């Protein structure tokens, strides 16, 4: 039995159950009125081997103690999207295996997964097209739509580093970390200076809205499905920058 109060540890117990090599694994979780016993072996049996081994990245990707969450989307939304899009399992599993980078095909799968988190009926494959549609056609506010592709890539790298390179070695006595893996935690900036933020280099802001439902000069305002939006607000929705 494992005694813990951290949800991340429960996830790691499920993900590493087969590697631990026991028939049953119990977790004593929580404190006070919330104290309960979790049967890890039954969870693994219920969701299957592939999903259980992919759970670490899924948990990190959708938000944990060290990786940010998606705006207005929690674990329930993520699980429902996973159930509706089982193809995500292979992508999650690939990023649990200490990858040196994020393959293009995996990132495309993750984009589709995130699209389904925000709009279960959407046919869009990429997040940029989906966020444009949700803003211009469904009148969603910026805070309630999915991230841009550039932002999602950096988020994916952070989640893969956490799930694959940190949690993935939780059973290893001496962890091995490479400073430049996945572009995370590199320690130095591109110019050789010490620690500093890494800024994206987005394309220039759009000077006018290209959606069929909005037309206006760069410094003016225009009606977008009955709402008014500034040039910078519309540029955000159109993924002109992140």
Tell me: do 58 and 28 sit in the same domain: no
Number of domains in the chain: 3
Q: What is the pLDDT of residues 175-223, one digit of tens each?
A: 666 555 555 544 444 555 544 556 666 554 444 444 444 444 344 333 3
In a domain, 218, yes or no: yes
Tell me: do 34 and 140 sit in the same domain: no
Tell me: do 59 and 33 sit in the same domain: no
Task: Provide the domain limits for residue 42.
Answer: 1-47
The model's pTM is 0.74
Tell me: do 163 and 68 sit in the same domain: yes
In a domain, 195, yes or no: no
List phi, psi (to 5°) of 176: -115, 115
Q: What is the arithmetic mean of pLDDT over 144-150?
A: 85
Instruction: Compute and round to an integer the Cα radius of gyration of the chain.
Output: 21
Q: Is 189 or 155 the better-scoring residue by pLDDT?
A: 155
In a domain, 194, yes or no: no
Q: Of 208, 204, 202, whose CA–CA distance to 231 is shortest?
A: 208
Tell me: do 180 and 205 sit in the same domain: no
Name the domain boundary from 32, 47, 62: 47
Tell me: do 42 and 57 sit in the same domain: no
**Per-residue pLDDT for 121 more than 80?**
yes
Tell me: do 73 and 181 sit in the same domain: yes
Tell me: do 236 and 214 sit in the same domain: yes
């Amino acid at each position: 039995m494992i005694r813990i109060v951290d949800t991340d540890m429960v996830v790691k117990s499920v993900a590493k159950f087969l590697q631990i090599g026991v028939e049953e694994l119990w977790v004593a979780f929580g404190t006070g009125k919330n104290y309960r016993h979790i049967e890890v072996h039954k969870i693994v049996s219920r969701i299957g081997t592939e999903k259980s081994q992919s759970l670490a990245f899924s948990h990190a990707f959708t938000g944990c103690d060290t990786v940010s969450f998606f705006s207005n989307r929690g674990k329930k939304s993520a699980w429902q999207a996973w159930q509706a899009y089982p193809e995500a399992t292979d992508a999650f599993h690939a990023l649990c295996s200490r990858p040196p980078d994020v393959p293009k095909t995996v990132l495309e799968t993750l984009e589709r997964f995130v699209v389904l988190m925000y709009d279960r009926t959407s046919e869009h494959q990429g997040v940029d097209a989906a966020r444009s549609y949700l803003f211009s056609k469904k009148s969603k506010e910026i805070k309630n739509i999915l991230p841009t592709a550039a932002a999602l890539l950096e988020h994916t790298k952070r989640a893969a580093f956490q799930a694959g390179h940190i949690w993935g070695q939780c059973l290893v006595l001496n962890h091995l970390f490479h400073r430049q893996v996945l572009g995370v935690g590199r320690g130095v900036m591109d110019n050789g200076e010490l620690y500093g933020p890494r800024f994206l280099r987005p394309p220039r802001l759009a000077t006018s809205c290209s959606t069929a439902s909005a037309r206006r000069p760069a410094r003016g305002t225009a009606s977008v499905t009955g709402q008014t939006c500034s040039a910078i607000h519309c540029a955000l929705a159109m993924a002109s920058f992140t």
